[in-house]
């Protein structure tokens, strides 16, 4: 078996720092180097997506979690799709909408929604490091699906390292029997599974041929489902805008404009102009940015066991995504 580098599929918006480049891309000749435009785009993806965990932690302090996640995704998807249609993109077919809606529900309603809810109870650095394990989820689920093939040895090693890292991060506490302590950890595990399933679904289904349009569709669908969840939970009924802090409003605006629009646009552009191996670096740079920002801005503690678990997860992603020299 060829020992090829593993790459998780790209997603509508990799709040999962582990959502990396899709299948090997045909990068046009002459674009193998990195110019100023690519450097700026990578900086935007690294810093902005790495900071979204911090933004969510601040926003969820006084904004209902599912309303926050739904409003952010739905509004960004609507704006992006309108802009793309005005620039000449054709209207998606009904089948493309249905497939994008399924992927968006898994990626954003389950993945992003549960992360946002969990960050009301856990530090942003724990959320970021937990979601960084998504490539391990993808590799394992891709193997277990009907017709799946056994991954290369390096990928299996990465899955093992990722599992050990998750055990350290979400280690069971015999004194933590109340749901408020273990439910957020379970939500982070389910969020990672949602991102992995949505990524795999998108990999094996024929979606709209433009990644930016697919992202807009997924944000609209996933955001719409999140708003329905918010309505069902009574968040909209009890929502009082005057009770929301200025910091939370600013965080919501930042997440929508910079996290869901600017950084996503930069990522979509990079998909067409750079190599999958370079694009995959977001999987281990973004969580590191999130950890540092959580420590600097929110004074979140960095316990040795948390750092150890995070290091194992980052190493797992490195093992799975980096190419061996020819």
- Does residue 3 lie within any of the structural domains? no
Tens-digit pLDDT profile for residues 143-193:
888 888 787 888 888 888 888 887 777 665 555 445 566 788 889 989 999
The pLDDT value given to residue 277: 65
The pLDDT value given to residue 250: 97
- Does residue 22 lie within any of the structural domains? no
- Does residue 28 lie within any of the structural domains? no
What's the whole-model pTM score? Answer: 0.83
Q: Which residues of the chain have pLDDT under 70?
A: 1-34, 170-181, 276-277, 280, 321-326
Query: Phi-psi category of 178—alpha, beta or left, where left has phi over 0 and alpha has psi -120 to 50?
Result: beta
| Residue 307 domain boundaries | 36-171+178-321
- Does residue 86 lie within any of the structural domains? yes
In degrees and rounded to multiples of 5, residue 171 shows phi and psi of: -60, 135
- Does residue 141 lie within any of the structural domains? yes
Tens-digit pLDDT profile for residues 185-235:
889 989 999 998 998 898 888 999 988 899 999 999 999 999 999 999 999
- Does residue 18 lie within any of the structural domains? no
The pLDDT value given to residue 309: 82
Rounded-to-integer distance, Cα 262 and Cα 109, Å: 21
CA atoms within 13 A of residue 258's CA, in its CB half-sphere: 19
Query: Locate tokens 């990626």: which residue?
Result: 107
Q: What angle do CA 69, 196, 45 make, to 5 degrees?
A: 60
Structural domains counted in the chain: 1
Rounded-to-integer distance, Cα 262 and Cα 3, Å: 35
The pLDDT value given to residue 163: 80
Rounded-to-integer distance, Cα 301 and Cα 295, Å: 6
């Amino acid at each position: 078996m060829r020992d090829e580098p593993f790459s998780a599929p790209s997603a509508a918006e990799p709040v999962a720092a582990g959502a990396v480049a899709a299948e090997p891309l045909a990068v046009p000749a002459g674009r193998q180097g990195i110019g100023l435009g690519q450097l700026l785009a990578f900086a935007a993806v690294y810093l902005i997506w790495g900071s979204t965990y911090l933004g969510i932690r601040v926003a969820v302090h006084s904004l209902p979690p599912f309303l926050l996640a739904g409003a952010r995704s739905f509004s960004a998807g609507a704006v992006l799709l309108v802009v793309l249609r005005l620039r000449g993109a054709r209207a998606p077919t009904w089948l493309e909408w249905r497939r994008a809606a399924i992927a968006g529900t898994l990626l954003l309603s389950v993945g992003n929604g549960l992360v946002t809810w969990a960050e009301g109870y856990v530090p942003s650095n724990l959320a970021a490091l937990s979601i960084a394990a998504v490539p391990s989820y993808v590799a394992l689920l891709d193997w277990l699906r009907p017709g799946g093939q056994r991954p290369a040895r390096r990928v299996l090693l990465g899955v093992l390292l990722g599992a050990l890292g998750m055990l350290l991060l979400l280690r069971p506490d015999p004194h933590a029997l109340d749901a408020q302590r273990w439910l957020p950890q379970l939500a982070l595990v389910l969020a990672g599974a949602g991102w992995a399933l949505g990524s795999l679904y998108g990999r094996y289904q024929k979606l709209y041929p433009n990644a930016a349009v697919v992202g807009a569709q997924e944000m609209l669908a996933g955001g719409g489902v999140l708003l329905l969840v918010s309505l069902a939970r009574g968040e909209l009924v009890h929502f009082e805008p005057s009770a929301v802090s200025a910091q939370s409003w600013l965080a919501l605006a930042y997440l929508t404009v910079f996290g869901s629009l600017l950084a996503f646009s930069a990522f979509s552009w990079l998909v067409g102009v750079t190599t999958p191996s370079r694009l995959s670096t977001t999987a281990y740079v973004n969580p590191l940015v999130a950890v540092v920002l959580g420590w600097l801005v929110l004074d979140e503690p960095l316990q040795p066991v948390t750092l150890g678990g995070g290091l194992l997860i980052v190493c797992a992603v490195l093992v799975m995504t980096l190419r061996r020299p020819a």
